[in-house]
Amino acid sequence: MMIRLLDDYTFGLTLSYRGHQLHYTSGDGNEYVFSGIVAAAVLCTLLADTDEGDARGITLDTPEQREDFFNRYEREVRRDNGGWFPSEVLSLRDVYIEVAGEEEILVQICRNDRLLDLAYRLIMEYMDRLVHEEVGQYIYDKYPWRAPFAQWLYEAGFVESYRQHLLDVDWTDHAGVYAFAEMYQPGELPDEPMFVFSGLEADDLLNRYFEWRWSTAKREAAMMPDAEVQLEQKRVQILAEETSDRCVEDDLRELPTETQKLFRKWISRWTAFVTDKLASSAQDSFPQQQRQTRVEQVLFPDATLTCPEPNKYTQVRDYIHDRCRYDDVFRDYYRSHTLSDFCEQLTLLFGWYVNPNSLGKCLKRKKK
């Protein structure tokens, strides 16, 4: 029969582990009952490096071994609602209530300071693990991206305040854990946001948000046959949305002045950041535009379509068709001027001579 990690075990008349609870009777006859990770940590600390511990596969020396212990613990207490952050907080609180004023009880159970230190290390590492599962490694793990950035930032600030409150709990502080457990309500957010995000530099956060927003736009545009045109429309829309904080204007007024100032610093930095990102475009593929010419240039590169290669009239035809779909000025000039005049503008635009005869023949052929 397979022995499980947390099977019942009797150490003697005063100490036993039964039904995932540790029972201890002190010398003065008082009985103490511990549950949760505290009970399991003490059990496995006392069994480690014994024949019984070896039979149960208990090894606790390395981070990998302790990680295996945590995984096995969670599998075996799942049906008792163990291994879940709220229930483990309450179990830890109850243990600290049990030993209130009797801190030496845990030393008596663990037999010496070194074993007590190992048991506490298991408890603290496990609670830290649960905290990171609860709040994520970074803010975007706990609160996924949403557009626009101003809206995400405002809402994420409250979640970050909740995150940092949990990350700051000292699980060895009996009074602090008791106070935390008494006020803790899963998912209940604080009244004031925090706009400094744990573990993230400001530019790192801005870059990650932008990569999410722009990659989403490119994926959506790629689903359409006129992907470049669609992406240009999205670029204009995104830039307009992301450079405004009107969506949270009313909510901001409810925050303290200093918090409002910090929020607006974020938005100012983000506005410059996203404007710079979206300004770089297909314009870089065009030659430098010469304005001092015999013919006044009225058509200029835009941010969407790249410059056709010299004498590739199929590319020129496609460029004209695509740009006419979204650029009213370009389309009006094309329709209201002779082909010769239009080719003069394309010559200035592309930096190579566009022959009206060659382009005319190409425009008459149907696009495949």
Return the pLDDT at 276. 87
Q: How is residue 124 written in tokens?
A: 């603290």
Residue 336: Cβ-neighbour burial (10 angstroms; 0-12, 13-18, 19+)? exposed
For residue 285, name the pLDDT band (cuts at 50, 70, 90).
Answer: low
Return the pLDDT at 228. 85
What gap in Å lies between CA 237 and CA 213, rounded to an integer? 12
In terms of pLDDT, which residue wins out, 364 or 58? 58
User: What is the tens place of the pLDDT at every residue in 248-279?
Assistant: 888 888 999 999 999 999 999 999 999 888 86
For residue 226, name the pLDDT band (cuts at 50, 70, 90).
Answer: confident
Residue 281 has pLDDT above 70, yes or no: no
Residue 46 has pLDDT above 60, yes or no: yes
What gap in Å lies between CA 36 and CA 68, rounded to an integer? 17
What gap in Å lies between CA 81 and CA 74, rounded to an integer? 9
User: In this structure, are residues 228 and 281 in contact, taking their beta carbons and an 8 Å threshold?
Assistant: no
Return the pLDDT at 282. 52
Could you give the residue ranges of the DSSP H alpha helices within the chain?
Answer: 36-47, 51-55, 63-77, 85-98, 104-110, 113-135, 139-142, 149-167, 174-183, 202-222, 227-242, 249-252, 257-279, 313-326, 328-336, 339-350, 356-364
Residues, the chain? 368
Return the pLDDT at 278. 85
Residue 293 has pLDDT above 60, yes or no: no
Q: How is residue 123 written in tokens?
A: 């408890």
Residue 45 has pLDDT above 90, yes or no: yes
Across the range 27-31, mean pLDDT stands at 88
In terms of pLDDT, which residue wins out, 102 or 202? 202
Return the pLDDT at 188. 78
Across the range 214-227, mean pLDDT stands at 92
Return the pLDDT at 27. 85
Residue 289 has pLDDT above 80, yes or no: no
* Partner residues linked to 16 by β-bridges: 10, 23
Return the pLDDT at 260. 93
For residue 19, name the pLDDT band (cuts at 50, 70, 90).
Answer: very high
For residue 13, name the pLDDT band (cuts at 50, 70, 90).
Answer: very high
When the pLDDT of each residue in the chain is averaged and rounded to a whole number, the result is 90
Q: Is the pTM of this model over 0.95?
A: no
User: What is the tens place of the pLDDT at every residue in 308-356?
Assistant: 999 999 999 999 998 998 889 999 999 999 999 999 999 999 989 999 9
User: In this structure, are residues 309 and 315 in contact, taking their beta carbons and an 8 Å threshold?
Assistant: yes
Between 93-97, 104-108, 121-125, 193-197, the lowest mean confidence (pLDDT) is in 104-108
Across the range 10-35, mean pLDDT stands at 93
Angle at which helices 227-242 and 202-222 cross, to 10°: 150
Return the pLDDT at 186. 78
Domain boundaries, the chain: 9-134, 136-173+180-280, 285-364
What gap in Å lies between CA 226 and CA 93, rounded to an integer? 61
Residue 101: Cβ-neighbour burial (10 angstroms; 0-12, 13-18, 19+)? exposed
Between 31-35, 127-131, 335-339, 364-368, the lowest mean confidence (pLDDT) is in 364-368
* Partner residues linked to 34 by β-bridges: 22
User: What is the tens place of the pLDDT at every residue in 119-158?
Assistant: 999 999 999 999 999 999 999 999 999 999 999 999 999 9
User: What is the tens place of the pLDDT at every residue in 150-209?
Assistant: 999 999 999 999 999 999 999 988 899 999 998 888 777 888 999 999 999 999 999 999
